[in-house]
Amino acid sequence: MGWRLTIMPWTGFVKSTTINMAKTIRAKFNVAEIAKYGNGGGTKVTLMPVMGNSEENKAFWQYTPNGKIELHISNPEAEFEFGEYYIDFTKAE
């Protein structure tokens, strides 16, 4: 998907350029489980879609009522806490 940007400098010239902008889909998930494995084995984080306990969550739940994201993380610097997270999906090129 491209957007057309028209630049009109004071000289009177008009230049059109197409800028490709990636479409991003936003979801809202809740951390349901954090499991740490011993001996440096990493962490498993499980996220589930939020439920309708606020107006914002009701709107997200309407379009993502079911799902699951499970991450197995070996990076000790990447730490998750229980709570809600926005997840942005952008198609890789």
* pLDDT tens by residue, 33-90: 999 988 878 999 999 999 988 999 999 888 888 999 999 999 988 889 999 999 999 9
Structure tokens at 59: 């709107």
Please report, for the chain, the start and end positions of each structural domain, with discontinuous segments joined by +.
Answer: 25-90
Question: Rounded distance, CA 76 to CA 93, Å?
Answer: 28
* pTM: predicted TM-score of the whole model, two decimal places: 0.70
| pLDDT in the model for residue 52 | 81
| pLDDT in the model for residue 4 | 46
* Local structure of residue 41 (DSSP, 8 states): T
Question: Rounded distance, CA 21 to CA 26, Å?
Answer: 15
Give strand pairing partners of 33.
46
Q: Give exposure, 8-33, as e/b (b: 16+ Cβ within 10 Å).
A: eeeeeeeeeeeeeeeeeeebbbbbee
Between 6 and 40, the higher pLDDT residue: 40
